[in-house]
């Protein structure tokens, strides 16, 4: 085995200069702030790993939006939360996703742990959910089992726009049911997710039948592609040998005419499989979910059977390039992973792509996401007032009153300005005099009228003013 140790590795410990920091928006260290004669220590700074990213407070409202949408849908459609570890046995994914797929062959973060076990950062969660379904005896409970998850996945792919090495997915899985309504429900949940966050999407859908049907189709596909070998790109020539179904994924311009003339899998499906697929489509018609029959859609993972689908943003050109969600039926996976046979289906939504597309859509349509709303602003003046303010704010919070405050601003003017920009209707002011009198001032921000009230009555009065039910 070739050892990578022999290769000299270039260590990119870039020293960050003050200029670099300025470029990134961070404040440059001020020479003046250091004691005379002392220079700022030049320490190594760290960058986020390639293909990974920080989720920053500026995007909080987007992450909240997608999390709330997922949570609400899960509750409504009765999917129970499941969280599985980020680390699993590597072979779990090799057996489920399959050799010859990009994920297994090229993208897994697989390594030996300290006990010599071959483990892997999960590249997706369906296999983990199936492991949990088998291992926790969920197959023994009333079927189907409907679960959902949210968390990071890891794929060491070539990073590019919308493709990360760590990315977040929300997923919904229905195990122990084979019924077209289960497939349709998953598509409905994913479709509703995007509707709820405000992103129009369209569904691409296909059926890839059973493994037997697929095998017959792949034979036909292979002989067709072999006859066109000289027109194919390098990658497709490899796919022809390693994973012929993936030939249908090729985006190379030169391969498109070949792809267009390729045999279509629906023609190789049995009547049963066709009729199952038709029933799924009938549900979508009934639900008015727009879909596009896409004979080239085969999905990148081996475990799929029958229905496969992807969701794409339905606006702009760039948006439609990459799927924001994908899923399908995987009737044989539970058995493949050692469980009692149980048909199943699932969908995974890519949250970074959902958020990026939503931002682009909102920008195009001049839609501004609302900031969290506060009911009142609490202004404090002086140290003692600050000390007491925390207590009063905590009490108000327990009564579901959303209080904004800023303890790093001490002047009343700046605090009133902050209150104004948040658009709150009332400001509660606690100054030195009020501390002594055990009172507070309530200022009506619209009229400017102020009243002095007893601290003990504050909660009651504020609730009355805000129309919050008093119990
Ligand atoms: P998959 O598990 O490949 O079916 O992917 C489901 C969804 O996850 C995709 O439609 C994307 O939205 C998202 N996704 C998959 N791979 C990545 C990635 N490398 N970076 C960001 N999002 C991804």
Out of 348, 352, 356, give the residue to mutate to test ligand 1, the one with the largest number of ligand atoms within 8 Å of its CB. 348
pLDDT above 50 (res 276): yes
353: Cβ below 6 Å to ligand 1?
A: yes
Quote the ligand 1 centre to 352 CA distance (angstroms).
9
Q: Whose CA is nearest to atom 16 of ligand 1?
A: 163
Atom of ligand 1 nearest to the CA of 324: 12
Residue 469 — φ and ψ, nearest 5°? -60, 135
Q: What is the per-residue pLDDT for 37?
A: 61
- Quote the distance between the C-alpha of residue 299 and its chain's center: 19
Least confident range of 155-164, 197-206, 243-252: 243-252
Out of 49, 101, 159, 167, give the residue to mutate to test ligand 1, the one with the largest number of ligand atoms within 8 Å of its CB. 167
pLDDT above 90 (res 11): no
Q: What is the per-residue pLDDT for 294?
A: 94
Distance (Å, rounded) from C-alpha 124 to C-alpha 114? Answer: 23
What is the band of 250 on the pLDDT scale with cuts at 50, 70, 90?
A: confident
Which of 439, 432, 433 minimizes the C-alpha distance to 383? 432
Query: Does residue 20 or residue 82 have the better pLDDT?
Result: 82
What is the band of 39 on the pLDDT scale with cuts at 50, 70, 90?
A: low
Least confident range of 47-51, 134-138, 161-165, 300-304: 300-304
Q: Whose CA is nearest to atom 11 of ligand 1?
A: 350
Q: Whose CA is nearest to atom 4 of ligand 1?
A: 326
Quote the ligand 1 centre to 122 CA distance (angstroms).
13
Query: Does residue 92 or residue 1 have the better pLDDT?
Result: 92
The per-residue pLDDT of the chain, averaged, comes to 90
Q: Give the mean model confidence (pLDDT) for residues 57-78.
A: 97
Atom of ligand 1 nearest to the CA of 164: 20
- Cβ neighbours, 10 Å, residue 233: 15
DSSP state at residue 251: -
Q: Give the mean model confidence (pLDDT) for residues 275-302.
A: 93
Determine the straight-line distance between the first and last CA of the chain, rounded to whole angstroms: 73
What is the band of 9 on the pLDDT scale with cuts at 50, 70, 90?
A: very low
Query: How does pLDDT run across 374-397, given as a tens digit for each residue?
Result: 999 999 999 999 999 999 999 999
244: Cβ below 6 Å to ligand 1?
A: no
Say what angle helices 180-197 and 60-76 make with each other, to 10 degrees: 150
Out of 350, 353, 356, 357, give the residue to mutate to test ligand 1, the one with the largest number of ligand atoms within 8 Å of its CB. 350
Confidence (pTM): 0.87
388: Cβ below 6 Å to ligand 1?
A: no
Quote the ligand 1 centre to 137 CA distance (angstroms).
29
Question: What single string gives the DSSP state of each residue in 83-133?
Answer: ---SEEEHHHHHHHH-TTSHIIIII-EEEE-TTS-EEEE-S-SHHHHHHHH
- % residues pLDDT > 70 (the chain): 90
Q: Where are the alpha helices (DSSP H) in 139-233?
A: 180-197, 211-227
Residue 343 — φ and ψ, nearest 5°? -70, 150
Q: Give the mean model confidence (pLDDT) for residues 83-87.
A: 98
155: Cβ below 6 Å to ligand 1?
A: yes
What is the band of 22 on the pLDDT scale with cuts at 50, 70, 90?
A: very low
pLDDT above 60 (res 141): yes
- Quote the distance between the C-alpha of residue 227 and its chain's center: 42
pLDDT above 60 (res 17): no
Q: Give the mean model confidence (pLDDT) for residues 394-420.
A: 92
Query: Does residue 373 or residue 372 have the better pLDDT?
Result: 373
Q: What is the per-residue pLDDT for 33?
A: 57
Query: Does residue 405 or residue 41 have the better pLDDT?
Result: 405
Q: What is the per-residue pLDDT for 5?
A: 39
Quote the ligand 1 centre to 470 CA distance (angstroms).
47
Distance (Å, rounded) from C-alpha 320 to C-alpha 335? Answer: 35
Q: What is the per-residue pLDDT for 211?
A: 93
DSSP state at residue 208: -
Least confident range of 68-82, 133-147, 301-315, 325-339: 301-315
What is the band of 321 on the pLDDT scale with cuts at 50, 70, 90?
A: low
Q: Whose CA is nearest to atom 2 of ligand 1?
A: 124
Q: What is the per-residue pLDDT for 1?
A: 38
């Amino acid at each position: 085995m070739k050892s990578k140790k022999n290769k000299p590795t270039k260590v990119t410990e870039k020293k960050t200069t003050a200029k670099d920091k300025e470029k990134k928006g961070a404040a440059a260290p001020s020479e003046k702030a250091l004691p005379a004669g002392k220079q700022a220590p030049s320490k190594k700074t760290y960058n986020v790993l390639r293909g990974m990213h920080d989720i920053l407070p500026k995007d909080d409202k987007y992450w909240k939006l997608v999390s709330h949408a997922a949570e609400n849908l899960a509750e409504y459609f009765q999917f129970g939360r499941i969280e599985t570890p980020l680390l699993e046995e590597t072979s779990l994914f090799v057996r489920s996703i399959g050799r010859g797929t990009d994920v297994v062959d090229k993208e897994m973060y697989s390594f030996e742990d300290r006990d010599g076990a071959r483990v892997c950062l999960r590249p997706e969660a369906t296999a983990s959910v199936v492991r949990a379904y088998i291992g926790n005896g969920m197959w023994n409970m009333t079927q189907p089992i409907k679960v959902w998850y949210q968390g990071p996945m890891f794929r060491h792919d070539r990073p590019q726009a919308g493709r990360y090495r760590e990315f977040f997915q929300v997923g919904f899985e229905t195990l122990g049911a084979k019924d077209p309504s289960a497939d349709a429900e998953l598509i409905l949940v994913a479709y509703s997710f995007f509707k709820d966050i405000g992103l129009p999407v369209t569904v691409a859908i296909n059926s890839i039948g059973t493994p037997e049907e697929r095998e017959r189709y792949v034979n036909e596909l292979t002989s067709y592609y072999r006859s066109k070998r000289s027109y194919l790109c390098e990658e497709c020539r490899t796919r022809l040998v390693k994973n012929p179904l993936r030939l249908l994924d090729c985006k190379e311009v030169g391969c498109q005419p070949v792809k267009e003339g390729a045999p279509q899998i629906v023609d190789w499906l049995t009547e049963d499989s066709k009729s199952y697929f038709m029933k799924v489509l009938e549900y979508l018609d009934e639900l008015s979910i727009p879909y596009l029959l896409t004979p080239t859609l085969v999905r990148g993972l081996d475990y799929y059977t029958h229905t496969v689908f992807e969701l794409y943003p339905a606006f702009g050109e760039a948006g439609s390039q990459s799927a924001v969600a994908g899923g399908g039926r995987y009737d044989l996976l539970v058995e493949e992973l050692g469980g009692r046979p149980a048909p199943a289906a699932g969908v995974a939504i890519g949250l970074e792509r959902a958020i990026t597309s939503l931002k682009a859509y909102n920008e195009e349509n001049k839609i501004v996401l609302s900031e969290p709303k506060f009911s009142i602003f609490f202004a404090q003046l002086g140290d003692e007032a600050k000390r007491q303010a925390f207590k009063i704010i905590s009490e108000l919070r327990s009564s579901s009153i959303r209080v904004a405050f800023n303890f790093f601003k001490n002047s009343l003017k700046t605090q009133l300005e902050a209150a104004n920009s948040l658009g709150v209707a009332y400001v509660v002011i606690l100054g030195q005099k009020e501390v002594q009198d055990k009172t507070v001032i309530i200022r009506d921000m619209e009229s400017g009228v102020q009243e002095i009230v007893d601290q003990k009555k504050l909660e009651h009065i504020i609730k009355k003013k805000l129309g919050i039910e008093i119990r």
